[in-house]
Structure 1
Amino acid sequence: MATQQRRERERARRASLIVSAAREMAEAEGWDSVTIRKLADRIEYSQPVLYGHFAGRGAIVDAVALEGFEELAESMERARTSAEDGGELEAMAQAYLDFAAAKPAVFEAMFTLAEGLQFGDEALEPLKAGFASLYAVFAPLAGEGQDPETLTETGWAAIHGLATLNRDGRLRPGLQSQRLQILLQRFRGGSGA
């Protein structure tokens, strides 16, 4: 029994090492530089060892994305629950934007590269937790006759759009705070119409 537990711990440690190395490489050099061969060289294991943990590069990207969703959900929830009354939406939105700016490769894995993660009703728990934080701040803003989940999806899409366009250098620099304030005012200004 003790031998089996030790093997399981060692396996989990190697998987974590692979995911951490992939994140570091992607943040430093972009996802195109992350290959099974380069990962194996970096962590000093053979390629078959990596394939023993992950079916391929896509599965590693999915693991990085899942970690990212866990971190983003925790960050948004921490921001939301520690904000002053009335400041929850802004705090949560800022946490989202900060995460996207601080971890661009992880953000890319989460929303562009991940292939094996389901959203919506079939989502894994970290994805549901992130949506729950969003829902907690947007649902109370739903006007009469509005579906709170649809309003939450719309709010998420707007914040995500700001994060993505800013990250990709598609917006004029130095105006992110102003853009966020405009967006928040639109949502706070009533039923979201």
Structure 2
Amino acid sequence: MPRAGKRIKGTSDERAEAREQLRAELLAAARSIAAESGGFDGITMRSIADHVGYTVPIVYQYFANKRALLVELVDVGFTELAHHLDRAECPTIQEREGGLLPATAAAYWQFAMADPDLYRLMHTLPEVPFGTAEAPAPARACFEALRRAVTAEAADGNPESREWAHDADAAADLLWAHLHGLVGLVLDGRIKGGGERGRILLGDLTRLFSQPRAPTSR
């Protein structure tokens, strides 16, 4: 791999693979620095270059500026979260957790606790669209996974949760809001009992979505 701007050699496929590997290495370096320094605010293009042993111009060949790198990290984060949520659909995991909804909530929790800095970045980077067609595709995939989870009991005929099937988008929005709120309180140290109690409350949270909604005025 180049260290100071040397040309990547090999076939076109080999060069493309080498470029993707270096791109992934730079993103991984940013995550490592954030974990060591308490977040992404303090990372710089130079610190990333120093971390992997490349010159700064190499980093700029892959990312126009720090924001471009952070936007890609948001995409990476939601891609990883989507994979976690998809794995919750495994029958073995559902059996262990007590169903698709609790399995999905557990997967969400585990992702956030494993990389809190990336999780925060995913939900705080300004001017990243959400709730529209312009939202990052992996974020939309996460929403769909939450939507499937929150309507699963209704689809299975659970009479207490059937009403969610009539407004699945609203149910998914509310589930995401509840999960994000609980995770945020735990990560910020603002909930009694910390992560251990937060994980217990996660089970109570999912049970809320197995109950019928109270009538609302229109």
TM range (shorter): 0.7 to 0.9
Q: Which one has the largest radius of gyration?
A: 2
Give the TM-score normalised by the residue count of structure 1: 0.88
Give the number of the structure with larger relative contact order, counting CA–CA contacts within 8 Å between residues 6 or more apart. Answer: 1
Cα deviation for residue 63 of structure 1 reads: 1.7
Stretches of structure 2 lacking an aligned partner (at least 5 in a row): 1-9, 155-160
Contact 1:143 1:192 in 2 (8 A): no
Deviations 1:109-158 (A, max 9, x none): 21112644655322333222211110111133451794210111111110
Distance 2:88 2:16 in 1: 35
Give the TM-score normalised by the residue count of structure 2: 0.79
Partner of 1:23: 31
Which stretch of the first structure deviates more once superposed, 149-158 or 3-12?
A: 3-12
Partner of 1:12: 20
Count residues with an aligned counterpart: 192
Partner of 1:34: 43
Q: Which contiguous aligned blocks of 4+ residues in structure 1 show a shift greater than 6 angstroms?
A: none
Stretches of structure 1 lacking an aligned partner (at least 5 in a row): none
Partner of 1:125: 137
Q: Which has the higher helix share?
A: 1
After superposition, the CA RMSD in angstroms is: 2.3
- What percentage of residue pairs aligned between the two structures are identical? 32
Aligned mate of 2:173, from 153, 162, 173: 153
Distance 1:56 1:88 in 2: 40
Q: Aligned AA for 1:113?
A: L
Distance 2:177 2:212 in 1: 18
Partner of 1:57: 66
Contact 1:80 1:89 in 2 (8 A): no
Structure 2 residue 190 is the aligned partner of structure 1 residue 170: yes
